[in-house]
Amino acid sequence: MITEAQLGDMIQDVKEPGKSRNFKESVELIVNFKDIDVKKGFALNEMVQLPKTSSPATVCVIAGGDMGQKAKQANADAVVGTEDLDKFAANKRESRKFINKYDFFLADTKMMPAVGKTLGQLLGPRGKMPTPVPFNAPIEAFLDRFRASVRVRTRASLSLSCKIGDETMNNSDLAVNAHAVLSAIERKLPNGEKNIKRVMVKTTMGRPIKQVQEVKKKFA
């Protein structure tokens, strides 16, 4: 597999001074696959915890009672109760807008049936079905883990793209994150590294840079 040092060089190149933007650009990892038959239902939907973070992921907790209160105290980005779910059930447009605001969803196990009934048709296709949280589980620990994570997802496609950080982060930290994501992807592929055709890195408005083959030649 491509090394952290090689990824670091790719990231350095992609972050070279260019046109200034009025916003903080993300740094994205792009992976292309090969020798996989997408017609057989190939899909990836993994949560990968990043070793280094600067901008935490947004997490919504669907819970009431004690768990809902603890989620608020732990500064969850949103806490949704039963009444809120009923409102979403009556307004699909607002439901879509709400779902798109958050990276991850957690839900009290007891509320999962209600979540499936009211939001399942919208959450499922987006790969955002909530992770169940058992009664008395430490919701704070769940929030910490998901805030430091990224979703790696593709369906019936031979490529994927995911955020590994932003342009303010050190190149070495971004490289560690990229390597962690690639390792997680490899473990889910039928033939591991052999199914990876190309790895690229880009910023939000930048162009993808350096394929795996080009990097290997540089270090040969």
Q: Are residues 158 and 203 in the same domain?
A: yes
Q: Flag the least confident range among 34-43, 144-153, 173-182.
A: 34-43
Residue finishing a domain among 90, 120, 146: 146
Say whether pLDDT at 26 is over 50.
yes
Q: Are residues 16 and 70 in the same domain?
A: no
Q: Are residues 142 and 153 in the same domain?
A: no
Residue-wise pLDDT tens digits, 64-111: 999 999 999 999 999 999 889 988 888 888 899 999 999 999 999 999
Residue finishing a domain among 146, 166, 195: 146
Angle formed by the axes of helices 171-188 and 4-14, nearest 10°: 120
Number of domains within the chain: 2
Percent of the chain at pLDDT exceeding 90? 71
Say whether pLDDT at 142 is over 90.
yes
**How confident is the prediction for the chain on average, in pLDDT?**
90
Q: Are residues 153 and 48 in the same domain?
A: yes
Q: What's the pLDDT score for residue 213? A: 46
Q: Are residues 43 and 92 in the same domain?
A: no
Cβ-contact 159, 30 below 8 angstroms: yes
Q: What's the pLDDT score for residue 110? A: 95
How many CB atoms are located within 10 Å of the residue 117 CB?
11
**Average pLDDT for residues 1-10, to the nearest whole number?**
90
Phi, psi for 51 (deg, rounded to 5): -65, -35
Q: What's the pLDDT score for residue 144? A: 96
**Average pLDDT for residues 41-70, to the nearest whole number?**
94
CB < 8 Å & 24+ apart, contacts of 169-172: 169/27, 169/52, 169/54, 170/52, 171/8, 171/11, 171/12, 171/15, 172/4, 172/8
Q: What's the pLDDT score for residue 130? A: 96
Q: What's the pLDDT score for residue 20? A: 67
User: Which CATH number fits the domain that encloses residue 176?
Assistant: 3.30.190.20
Q: Are residues 157 and 214 in the same domain?
A: yes
Residue finishing a domain among 116, 146, 176: 146
Q: Are residues 11 and 81 in the same domain?
A: no
Q: What's the pLDDT score for residue 210? A: 62
Q: Are residues 164 and 139 in the same domain?
A: no
Q: Are residues 75 and 137 in the same domain?
A: yes
Q: What's the pLDDT score for residue 88? A: 86
Q: Are residues 134 and 203 in the same domain?
A: no
Q: What's the pLDDT score for residue 24? A: 85
Q: What's the pLDDT score for residue 218? A: 40
Q: Are residues 140 and 153 in the same domain?
A: no
Residue-wise pLDDT tens digits, 184-216: 999 999 999 999 999 999 998 888 876 544 444
Residue-wise pLDDT tens digits, 35-48: 999 888 899 999 99
Domain hosting 37: range is: 4-54+149-218
Say whether pLDDT at 18 is over 70.
no
Q: Are residues 73 and 142 in the same domain?
A: yes
User: Which CATH number fits the domain that encloses residue 93?
Assistant: 3.40.50.790
